[in-house]
């Protein structure tokens, strides 16, 4: 697996786990919706996350929380592009765009985004071609259904095998349009069309996704799976559970951890990686 990921005019060293800070410029995201709609507020939050150790800022302008509804292409562009432009001008960080929309992919790349993070794994019409045209790395995520329906009785005969099969199919689709395999990252999609049991099984068996020999990105920060484990804990009381989940993920092979809580997560996964690395050097 390549340890240096070329992200536009920047490179990301994946030889140790990387923190991706979450920045939602939406009114309705489940955790921080409405807080960073103004460009100055978004810039300050990005700066704060970088100071806390984020090497990537993942900017999203369309909520993909359960029961969320799509926004128009123009609305997504209007929310996202001014933030990308300001962060690119003023901060030294890899900018990831959390989008599934072809025009947003193209326009964001032109403004200096370095990574495409698509919860729909480039399945929207035109998304594969748009991503290929940018030459940027892409994170392919598994989701059963769509955000507005995905938590309505998700079902798998074997969640690990079915997620693996989906990711293989999307890898093949990318390679077929000329996207290099070395540009791909994978995300099993915690909370996207999965029950708590499905999520726990994926986390516990995350090492089985190393079969792809591609970097694994995980995102469990503040999600309802953590609240369920804690007995219906609200979003603002899931920090320690999220840090624990990130630690398990890194022990099980995750290369990038997407989080709202950068400093706490960075410190926890540093310990996890030190232990994991020690184990590797013994073998």
Domain containing 215 — which CATH number? 3.20.20.20
DSSP code string of 68-109: -----HHHHHHHHHHHHHHHHHH--SEEEEE---HHHHHHHH
Q: Is 272 exposed, middle or buried (0-12, 13-18, 19+ CB in 10 A)?
A: buried
Residues 6+ away with beta carbon under 8 Å from 3: 13, 14, 15
Q: Note down the domain range covering 147.
A: 4-282
- CB-based contact 113:61 (threshold 8 Å): no
Which residues are tagged catalytic? 223, 258
Count of domains forming the chain: 1
Residue in the structure block whose two tokens are 């559970």: 241
pLDDT, one tens digit for every residue, the chain (283 residues): 768 999 999 999 999 999 999 999 977 544 554 565 688 889 999 999 999 999 999 999 887 766 667 788 999 999 999 999 999 999 999 999 999 999 999 999 999 999 999 999 999 999 999 999 999 999 999 999 776 666 777 889 999 999 999 999 999 999 999 999 999 999 999 999 999 999 999 999 999 999 999 999 999 999 999 999 999 899 999 999 999 999 999 999 999 999 999 999 999 999 999 999 886 666 5
Q: Decide: pTM greater than 0.85.
A: yes
């Amino acid at each position: 697996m390549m340890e240096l990921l070329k992200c536009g005019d920047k490179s990301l060293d994946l030889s140790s786990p990387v923190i991706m800070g979450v920045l939602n410029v939406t009114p309705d995201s489940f955790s921080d919706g409405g807080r960073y709609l103004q460009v100055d507020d978004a810039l300050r939050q990005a700066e704060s996350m970088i100071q806390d150790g984020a090497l990537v800022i993942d900017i999203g302008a369309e909520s993909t929380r359960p029961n969320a509804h799509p926004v128009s292409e123009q609305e997504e562009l209007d929310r996202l592009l001014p933030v990308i432009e300001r962060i690119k001008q003023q901060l030294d960080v890899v900018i990831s765009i959390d989008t599934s929309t072809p025009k947003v992919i193209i326009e964001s790349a032109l403004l200096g985004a370095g990574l495409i993070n698509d919860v729909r794994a480039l399945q929207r019409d035109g998304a594969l071609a748009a991503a290929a045209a940018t030459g940027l790395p892409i994170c392919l995520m598994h989701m059963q259904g769509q955000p507005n329906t995905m938590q309505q009785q998700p079902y798998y005969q074997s969640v690990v095998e079915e997620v693996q099969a989906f990711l293989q199919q999307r890898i093949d689709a990318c390679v077929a349009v000329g996207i290099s395999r070395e540009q791909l990252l994978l995300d099993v999609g915690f909370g996207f069309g999965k029950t708590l049991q499905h999520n726990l099984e994926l986390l516990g068996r995350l090492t089985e996704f190393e079969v792809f020999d591609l970097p694994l990105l995980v995102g469990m920060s503040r999600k309802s799976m953590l609240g369920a484990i804690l007995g219906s804990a609200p979003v603002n009381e899931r920090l320690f559970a999220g840090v624990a989940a990130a630690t398990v993920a890194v022990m099980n092979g995750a290369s990038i951890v997407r989080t709202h809580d950068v400093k706490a997560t960075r410190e926890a996964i540093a310990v996890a990686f030190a232990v994991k690395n020690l184990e590797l050097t013994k073998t």
